[in-house]
Homo-oligomer: A and B are copies of this chain.
Amino acid sequence: MERLRDLDEAGVLQRVLPLYGAAGPAVAVGPGDDAAVIATPSGSVVATTDGMVRGRDWRDEWSSGHDVGVKVAVQNIADVAAVGAVPTGLLVALVADPALEVAWARDLAAGIAEAARDAGAAVVGGDLSSGPPGVVVVTVTALGDLQGREPVLRSGARPGDVVAVCGSLGHSGGGLALLLRSGPSALEWAGAGLVRYHLAPRPPWESGPLAAAAGASALVDVSDGLATDLGHIARASGVRVDLDGTVLREELAAGPLTEALGAQEAWNQVLTGGEEHSLVACFPAGTDVRALPGERWRVIGRVAEAGPDGPVVTVDGAVTHARGWDHFTPP
């Protein structure tokens, strides 16, 4: 079995770079020089970075290299979409134990390439470093273009706005719960769809720029959990976000999530499940979100003036203290 240490850096790159394919018209200089050069026709560039760590963000028993590649790319692509931009380029930094199998690194690259292609972005550069025994860290930076629009930030929500979600909620967290309970055999059961979503999510990121074009006032992707991420919007905008528990239960917790986990845990995952990367946006009152192009948006609540409780998130009128994922204070 070929391992990274059996090759030199050039040898590893020779096996990995072809998987990233052609660069596309926006890429003036791709991998291989000191830095890449990407066109930014609208006069600004969107940039974000996010990484995954073996044993923390994935387990080799559950995730293939391809899964990890898709997921780390998607996390970054979703962040670009969550300010209303379209992704243009990705940079990939891999730190790996030299004992890592070359096949795994190729699989990782294939997953990143697949997600990038799907999003219309090119892999434009990267870095390869050796790490301590057992360590694999993949850090991706995504670049994006606003196509002439203003970025849609967390701070733009206004009282009266409707709150809507595009994509699923709780599927990634539900899949993780099933994996923690049953290991990879969970892939053969009722919750297989949730597990697959946890391993290699495919949120509707195309809807980020579409929401921006339709006048969204605030936008995030669900990284830490619906309640936590809407809490970010509430605080940044100085507003209260009132969620409708009935809609969340009937339209988002029902179906595969409740079938696999039961009603109580499904509900918990809808409110707190992270790594979903679906989009949550606020739109000015009167926006008909059902008329938006692309994937369906569901109205799940409304923005109000911050009351005596401050900039909080409520569900059916009660302040929620539901907490999502925190890297340094695991649940």
Contact = CB atoms under 8 A, between A and B. Distances in A.
A127 interface: yes
Interface string A285-326: 000000000000000000000000000000000000000001
A63 B78 CA distance: 36
Contacts of A134: 132
A124 interface: yes
A264 B12 CA distance: 33
Contacts of A181: none
A214 interface: no
Interface string A4-32: 11011101100000000000000011001
B48 A34 contact: yes
A52 B39 CA distance: 28
A326 B43 CA distance: 38
A210 interface: no
Contacts of A36: 46-48
B47 A93 contact: no
A82 interface: yes
A35 B328 contact: no
A30 to B, nearest CB: 11
A128 to B, nearest CB: 6
A53 B131 contact: yes
B4 A328 contact: yes
A133 to B, nearest CB: 10
A139 B93 contact: yes
A28 B151 contact: yes
A274 B80 CA distance: 35
A44 B48 contact: no
Nearest to A52: B129
Contacts of A80: 34-35
Given A56-B130, A221-B34, A327-B9, A125 B49 contact: yes
A56 B132 contact: yes
Interface in A116-152: 124-132, 134-135, 137, 139, 141-144, 146, 151
A51 interface: yes
A328 B100 CA distance: 11
A220 B45 CA distance: 25
A310 to B, nearest CB: 16
Contact of A151 (B37, B132, B153, B221): B37
Contacts of A143: 45, 47
22 contacts: A9-B327, A28-B44, A29-B151, A32-B154, A33-B83, A33-B155, A35-B142, A37-B44, A38-B44, A41-B43, A47-B89, A51-B127, A53-B131, A56-B129, A56-B130, A98-B328, A128-B327, A128-B328, A129-B327, A131-B137, A132-B135, A135-B135
Given A40-B43, A41-B43, 9 more contacts: A8-B329, A34-B82, A35-B48, A35-B82, A37-B47, A45-B143, A49-B93, A56-B132, A141-B141
